[in-house]
Amino acid sequence: MTALLRVERLSKSYGTLEVLREVSVELRRGETLCVIGPSGSGKSTLLRCLNLLESPDSGDVWLGGTKLTDPRADLDAARARIGMVFQHFNLFPHMTVERNISIALTTVKGMNREQAHGIALRKLEEVGLADFAGQRPTRLSGGQQQRVAIARSLAMEPEVMLFDEATSALDPELVKDVLAVMKDLAAGGMTMAVVTHEMGFAREAADRVAFMCDGVLAEIGTPNHMFDQPGHPRLRQFLSQVL
C-alpha cells in the first residue's frame, strides 16, 4: 500500500516543552490508523501537524507527492483534501442542518444551491440523518450533531479524514452511533487517522494502532499485536489502565 499522508521526524515544542519528538509515521491509502495514548502525549498536536493547523519545528509532512512543509506548498489546496472532526462539532445554531453542510459547498466550492443541497442530503443519508435536514442543530442530540459534523466534512470530498476524540464529549449512550458511522467509513475504504480512547473501536476498525507516549510514537502495529502482545512497557501499563 502506498502512503497517502506521511510524516518524517516531526518535532514540535511549545517553549521548553517537547510535545513531538521525531515522530515518523505513514497513513496508507484506505487504511484506518487509530492513535492511542495517555492525555498530553501529543496525539492532538500530531493530528494538527498533519493538516498544518500547527507548523512543526522540524521534520516533513507529505500528502501524496506534495511536501506540505515546503514553504512554497499550496496549503489551502492541501487542507481541502483533508477533513477533520473534533471533539466539539461547532455547528451554526441559526442554520438548518442541511445549510450547515451545504454552506461551504456554495461559498467555498462555488456550487449552485441545488447541487449543494443534493450533496448535503446524500451525506446526511450516509450518516443516518436524512430526516433531520430541515431542523436546527440544537434540536439534535450530541451524537446526532457530531454525525452532522462528519457529514459536513465528507461533503467536501476529502481524501483523508482525521478524527480527534470525536466521541469524547458525548454521553456514553450516544457514542455508539457515531462510532458506527466511523466504522462504515473505514469499511468503505476511507483513509482515516483516528485519535480515540475507544479501545473496542480501535480493535475492530483499525488496520493499525499507534501508541503515543511523551511525544514519541512508542509502538505501532496491528490491533492484535498492540492489544494482545504489547511490547513497550508504557503501552502495557496504559492498556492495563484503560481496558
Ligand X SMILES: Nc1ncnc2c1ncn2[C@@H]1O[C@H](COP(=O)(O)OP(=O)(O)O)[C@@H](O)[C@H]1O
Secondary structure class of 84 (helix, strand, coil)? strand
Stretch near ligand X under the rule CB under 6 A, chosen from 41-49, 57-65, 84-92, 170-178: 41-49
Is residue 142 within 8 Å of residue 169, measured between CB atoms? yes
Least distance CB 177 / Mg ion (angstroms)? 22
CA 129, CA 146: separation in Å to the nearest integer?
11
Q: Which amino acid is at 107?
A: T
Is residue 117 within 8 Å of residue 190, measured between CB atoms? no
Is residue 57 within 8 Å of residue 34, measured between CB atoms? no
Please tell me whether residue 112 binds ligand X under the rule CB under 6 A.
no
Nearest Cα to Cα of residue 17 among 214, 182, 222:
214
Element containing residue 224 per DSSP (H, E) = helix 223-228
Within 19-58, the residues that bind Mg ion by CB under 5 A are 44
Least distance CB 14 / ligand X (angstroms)? 3
Stretch near ligand X under the rule CB under 6 A, chosen from 35-43, 129-137, 149-157, 173-181: 35-43
Least distance CB 123 / ligand X (angstroms)? 27
Least distance CB 42 / ligand X (angstroms)? 4
Q: How many residues bind ligand X (CB under 6 A)?
A: 11
Question: Which residues lie near Mg ion (CB under 5 A)?
Answer: 44
Q: Which residues bind ligand X (CB under 6 A)?
A: 14, 17, 19, 37, 39-45
